[in-house]
Amino acid sequence: MASKALQTLLVYAVLLALSAVFISPFLWMLSTSLKHESRIFPKPGEPPQWIPTTARVDAGGRPVVVYEGREGVDLGPDEMGRHVLRIGATATPAWPGDFEVRQRIGLHWQNYADAFHKMAFWQNLRNTLFICVTVVLGTLVSCSLVAYSFARIPWPGRDTVFILVLATMMLPYQVTLIPLFAMYRELGWVGTFKPLIIPAFFGTPFYIFLLRQFFLAVPQDLSASARIAGCNEFGIYLFIMLPLSKPALATTALFMFLFQWADFLSPLVYLQDDRQYTLAIALQQFQSHHESAWGPLMAMSSVITIPIIILFFLTQRTFIQGITLTGLKG
């Protein structure tokens, strides 16, 4: 009994350690987005600062100090080595040993304001959401129909075609990128959203496989009863299979939404107008134009990442149900 409890404790300790390793980059990004530019990179010998603190004001970058019970700003040393303190509207000289630097938690929200000012965020967000939502809808419709055909309709050559569909998953996207680009260019689709949206309405092999496995787990008796009642195949698909497949459909929608939200290569290849850019491309352009503005860059990265994390936590129960690939509860 004691060994089992120790084993469980060890497993939880390892999981917590791995969780800390995976979440630490995100926490550091979030912390950096709230730091003043002068506090992002620690001085030699100083430990990394996880909680943003500030001892500086405005653009002068001067530390806040306490001198004789009054808070002021250090304007720097004069020719005698004394520091000039600005307390209110007056300037008072003092030796460094006569005052203390006051460190306090300081969240530099100006990074977010600067990021929104330097980047057409709302336009990029609209483009990204339009692509994500449209692709998700196209994927759900096309993949569920094809998966239902592979799982429930015994037509000649079904298994052979299914193997061919799965075989296309072995082709890397980089191999088919140039032929697809040439084809879309001949169609006049380059420079539009069509190459990013229309292929979703022709199915995706991985999600076809995922939904097919889910449909196979649904008892055949339900389909047989519906056929006896006079329901055709499309009616069985629409009124029986889809309501039972909500977890699998939600998993497919979540996977596809996350992929499209973070997709960088496809929009970079097919979109040519700044007004069409998605958030991923806009963030890369922001980094190229403002490579030294680490605070605003981390702020915009946080704005793009946080919605995905919230979406995952809100849908994790349905997501786990879909991963188990069970057709019925109980």
Look at residue 77 and give its three-state secondary structure: strand
Rounded Cα distance between 126 and 131, Å, is: 9
The whole-number pLDDT of residue 106 equals 65
Could you tell me the two tokens for 143? 């993949």
User: What are the angstrom distances between the C-alpha of 123 and each of 238, 267, 276, 311?
Assistant: 36, 15, 8, 21
The whole-number pLDDT of residue 329 equals 43
DSSP letters, 54-65, are E-EETTTTEEEE
Convert the pLDDT of each residue in 265-308 to its tens digit: 999 999 988 899 999 999 988 888 877 788 888 999 999 999 88
Rounded Cα distance between 269 and 256, Å, is: 19
Rounded Cα distance between 77 and 327, Å, is: 74
The whole-number pLDDT of residue 330 equals 39
Could you tell me the two tokens for 217? 């787990």
Fold match flag (56-102 vs 113-324): no
More confident residue, 37 or 195: 195
Per-residue pLDDT averaged across 18-43, rounded? 82
Phi and psi at residue 100, to the nearest 5°: -125, 145
In percent, the amount of the chain with pLDDT more than 70 equals: 82
Look at residue 84 and give its three-state secondary structure: strand
- The correct answer on CATH 2.30.30 for the domain covering 56-102 is yes
The DSSP letter of residue 119 is S
Instruction: Fold for 113-324, please state it.
Output: MetI-like fold (1.10.3720)
60-64, 293-297, 307-311: least confidently modelled range: 60-64
Kind of pairing between the strands at 90-94 and 104-105: unpaired
Rounded Cα distance between 60 and 255, Å, is: 47
Rounded Cα distance between 212 and 241, Å, is: 11
The whole-number pLDDT of residue 20 equals 87
Whether residue 158 is predicted with pLDDT greater than 90 in this model: the reply is yes
Among 62-71, 130-139, 211-220, 241-250, name the most confident range. 130-139
Give the number of other CB atoms < 10 A from CB of residue 34. 22
Compute the mean pLDDT over every residue in the chain, rounded to the nearest whole number. Answer: 83
Rounded Cα distance between 196 and 270, Å, is: 8
Convert the pLDDT of each residue in 188-199 to its tens digit: 999 999 999 999
The whole-number pLDDT of residue 53 equals 63
Distance of CA 257 to the CA centre of its chain: 10
Rounded Cα distance between 146 and 134, Å, is: 18
Convert the pLDDT of each residue in 66-121 to its tens digit: 666 566 666 667 777 777 766 766 777 776 666 666 656 667 788 898 888 888 89
Rounded Cα distance between 73 and 168, Å, is: 66
| Rg, C-alpha atoms of the chain | 29
Whether residue 42 is predicted with pLDDT greater than 60 in this model: the reply is yes
Kind of pairing between the strands at 56-57 and 62-67: antiparallel
- Listed in sequence order, the DSSP H helices in the chain are 2-32, 110-118, 121-152, 158-167, 173-187, 194-197, 205-216, 220-228, 233-236, 242-244, 246-262, 265-270, 279-289, 294-314, 316-324
Instruction: State pTM to two decimals.
Output: 0.78
- pLDDT tier, 5 (very low <50, low <70, confident <90, very high otherwise): confident
- pLDDT tier, 321 (very low <50, low <70, confident <90, very high otherwise): low
| Structural domain spans, the chain | 2-32, 56-102, 113-324
Could you tell me the two tokens for 167? 């075989």
